[in-house]
A = this chain, B = another copy of it.
Amino acid sequence: MPKVSDEHRAAQILDAAMRLAATEGFHRMTMAEVVAVSGLSAGAVYGYFRSKQELVRAIAQRAVGRIATTIDALADAEPPVPPAEGLEAVLDRLLGLSDELGYDVPALAIQGWSEATRDPEVREILGTELLRVRRAWRDFAERVRDRGLLSPEADVDAVGNALMAMLPGFIVFRTVFGDVTPRSHASGVAELMRQPPSR
């Protein structure tokens, strides 16, 4: 009889693995390390994840899941909030999430994209998860438009997409340039939207 439930064990392994993957990347993370950090035996780990590949997929899924969670910030962002503010709230959450969880979530996102390049299954997982995110951004754009902060004819799919697309940019810029903040990044959207002088 296991002391703890199966889900707990699986989570324990996943946690260890995500921590490792965030700092070392998928391919430098060894199963031996996962075994050591999780505190279980090799056999036990392989009882929960049939292969490293499967574990990597689980990490990718959970990592984007975590990020998907950040867009709840958009819903909270009610009363009418301009797009830039919604984006900033999401980026803030993303950083907050890393602090809470104790590992670098954006780093894991990059790992996931990289893996999606060659593992179709990871690509599918990411596609499925990110579809939810896409819809959330669409809904946000719709609400924003409906409240008069966008042109009534604006294509809310396109706008949602554009706002969501700022996220990978934020993650990449954070990695290569040190100087980006949620505020600075989101301000670009606000500046873009400033009214040109009516002619």
Q: Which A residues have a C-beta under 8 Å from some C-beta of B?
A: 23-25, 27-28, 83, 107, 110-111, 113-114, 116-118, 123, 126-127, 130-131, 134, 148-155, 158-173, 175-177, 180, 184-185, 187-199
Beyond contacts A24-B118, A162-B192, A168-B169: 18 other A-B pairs, Cβ-Cβ < 8 A, are A23-B118, A27-B27, A111-B114, A113-B175, A123-B175, A130-B176, A150-B192, A151-B191, A155-B188, A158-B184, A158-B187, A161-B173, A163-B188, A163-B192, A166-B169, A168-B171, A169-B169, A198-B198
* This chain's copy number in the assembly: 4
Known: A25-B118, A165-B173, A166-B166. A153 touches B194 (CB 8 A): yes
Which residues of chain B are near A159, meaning CB under 8 Å? 188, 191-192
A160, chain B: closest CB distance, angstroms: 8
- Most-contacted residue by chain B among A163, A170, A171, A176 (CB, 10 A): A176
In the assembled complex, the Cα of A161 lies from the Cα of B27 at a distance in Å of: 31
Contact call A189/B188, Cβ cutoff below 8 A: no
Contact call A191/B148, Cβ cutoff below 8 A: no
Which residues of chain B are near A134, meaning CB under 8 Å? 177
